[in-house]
Structure 1
């Protein structure tokens, strides 16, 4: 089986911004773009993207999950990077059009069609280190993917890092490539030094997020996670999990969580820690590593509440449970 996100459909949706206006979107070959080597994106990282999925239901229909939220965040990321303003209706239609083109290729559950809208600054101008790109390109790539945990889900090892942070605090809510690049070296070092799967960045002793996921704790009937601010990504999966937890009657606490509180709670029986994100959905954290010492969370294994919440979300995505919040957009 090919690695997650490494296979692409041969065509994509594309639009360009020049002379203060967006072109008509079109379906083109996925390998057809050309960039000037002086393009703004290649030098000053004027780039943002989204990750969302289309799912096949038992009746054969295809549905995109929470497209409106991803488009909203895509537009916000573009604004915060001073890229040309996105036309929300146009990018939504581009997603619909390209998914419809490949509706028959959307895998059966537990697979899905991963959707990657991308916006990059294309102006050839290496003198614009402190100025935005006046031209840009927007495209939507598709990648058919299997289950992220093809070998079976396992509880993760998480290094708590109180020294560094994932990215500059004012950049956290932007889904931009530079933020992922910023987290890469600390993550690789944590893997080499501690056999950690991810780093949970905790600047000033308070948790934010890992390199690619939001962090949540379940203690009894309460689910606790950091309150939204500009320092970390406002995950669509995070939002969905909190809504499902609320529907199940759980108490939702969005607030600051210190490393000290986290380690105290982790020692309690039945407590669970988990990461949420589009690719893996919801994954249990079994071990926290702090100052060179391992702390087991709950049983140290995949937690029952993580499994329950993940299944509840999957059931909505796959059409096995009612879509009471209007999260699905039917494509075909």
Structure 2
């Protein structure tokens, strides 16, 4: 889906249209006082259009507001869409940075490839973040555990009911100020084991960040809530652990080995990748390999597994304190490594610790 012209694209000129109804300073500060995840949005959004033959064009910053779609838009019928999640952080000196956007840019390209969508050039992805911060930088909060959550997304906008890749696509970026994803911060969460449902299958779209994967998790997630749990964990067809509805999972063994499940249907989390790098830098052996439910439960029972935690962009790190299923309720060991890695990672993101790996990119410069 990517033409040579697309891959060679150096940059786009973004036209800026200011929102005449932008919130006042007082209104914005009120919205930033206690932001709930994904409920309040900034005054502007970014849009870029792709059409077959013309490639990426019509780059713009425009007032945040409803999108106009033809009822026959392909995304409404065939689910041809992808998205990303990335944050902007306010540092003590007032500057605004984001974290490893090159990894998000690469992942949205992989997702696009799997969903037969055009691949957005990495520099355009990064530029879209800069353009939005240029007009809505005041929306980046400065409180503890607060950030501006950026949601880039792409969908098939062509009005066409035939089953084929769309020839017209829209890419957008919206933003929402957020606090801690789980109430109570990084306290242990309870997990419901979904034994009746799967989020993805072999050869499916599990490794792509596409809405269908999350839609598939909603019913078992509702089941988790009914059981008093915070999240749901899925298994593959062989009984191996995959991931949670919206996060990766990590196991810490008593010898210090850190293990995360490996499967072609798991989303490659950037937070997970970063935490594993920090763990390796501390001297831990890091493994990505299949881990079965039996190994998980037996490892906890024997004391071989000393810590289990979930991780992702929105929640960062969440220790897992309990695993529940249809016929069991197993307490999970919680240790210090998850919270230590979380502290180290967030210290880098918020500029409290030196970024020795070049993971941060300043957006407001």
TM-score by length of structure 2 reads: 0.85
Query: Which has the larger displacement, 141-150 or 56-65?
Result: 141-150
Equivalent residue for 2:178, pick from 124, 145, 157: 145
Call closer, same or farther: CA 1:110–1:190 in 2, change over 3 Å.
closer
Counterpart Cα distance in 1 of 2:214 and 2:66: 25
Q: Given the alignment of the two structures, is residue 23 of structure 1 paired with residue 23 of structure 2, yes or no?
A: no
- 1:101 CA drift (Å): 2.1
Counterpart Cα distance in 2 of 1:288 and 1:150: 19
Counterpart Cα distance in 2 of 1:2 and 1:100: 21
In the comparison of the two structures, how many residue pairs are matched?
325
1:260-281 superposed Cα distances (whole Å, 9 cap, x missing partner): 1100122245711110111110
Equivalent residue for 2:320, pick from 285, 289, 299: 285
- 1:2 CA drift (Å): 4.6
Query: Which has the larger displacement, 52-61 or 17-26?
Result: 17-26
- 1:231 CA drift (Å): 0.7
Partner of 2:45: 12
Q: Given the alignment of the two structures, is residue 331 of structure 1 paired with residue 359 of structure 2, yes or no?
A: no
Equivalent residue for 1:58, pick from 92, 99, 116: 92
- 1:24 CA drift (Å): 3.5
Call closer, same or farther: CA 1:198–1:150 in 2, change over 3 Å.
closer
Equivalent residue for 2:243, pick from 209, 228, 235: 209
Q: Given the alignment of the two structures, is residue 310 of structure 1 paired with residue 310 of structure 2, yes or no?
A: no
The alignment partner of 1:107 has SS state of: coil
Partner of 1:111: 146
The alignment partner of 1:23 has SS state of: strand
Mapped contact 1:166–1:179 kept (Cα < 8 A):
yes
- 1:3 CA drift (Å): 2.6
* Residue segments in structure 1 that go unaligned for 5+ positions in a row: none
- 1:291 CA drift (Å): 4.0
1:283-325 superposed Cα distances (whole Å, 9 cap, x missing partner): 0111112342111112xxx532111111010000011111111
Q: Given the alignment of the two structures, is residue 135 of structure 1 paired with residue 168 of structure 2, yes or no?
A: yes
Mapped contact 1:214–1:276 kept (Cα < 8 A):
yes
The alignment partner of 1:185 has SS state of: helix
Partner of 1:295: 330
* Residue segments in structure 2 that go unaligned for 5+ positions in a row: 1-33
Counterpart Cα distance in 2 of 1:190 and 1:116: 26
Partner of 1:69: 103
The alignment partner of 1:267 has SS state of: helix
Mapped contact 1:267–1:297 kept (Cα < 8 A):
no
Aligned-pair RMSD on alpha carbons?
Answer: 1.6
Equivalent residue for 1:267, pick from 291, 296, 301: 301
The alignment partner of 1:35 has SS state of: coil
- 1:96 CA drift (Å): 1.4
- 1:32 CA drift (Å): 4.8
1:23-74 superposed Cα distances (whole Å, 9 cap, x missing partner): 1311011115311111001110011000000111111111011100001101
Equivalent residue for 1:90, pick from 111, 119, 124: 124
Q: Write out aligned runs for 1:162-173 (5 A).
A: 162-169=195-202, 170-173=204-207
Partner of 1:199: 232
Partner of 1:237: 271
Counterpart Cα distance in 2 of 1:328 and 1:97: 17
Counterpart Cα distance in 1 of 2:56 and 2:248: 33
Mapped contact 2:129–2:363 kept (Cα < 8 A):
no
TM-score by length of structure 1 reads: 0.93
1:78-127 superposed Cα distances (whole Å, 9 cap, x missing partner): 1110012322221221111112322222111321010100000001012x
The alignment partner of 1:53 has SS state of: strand
Partner of 2:252: 218
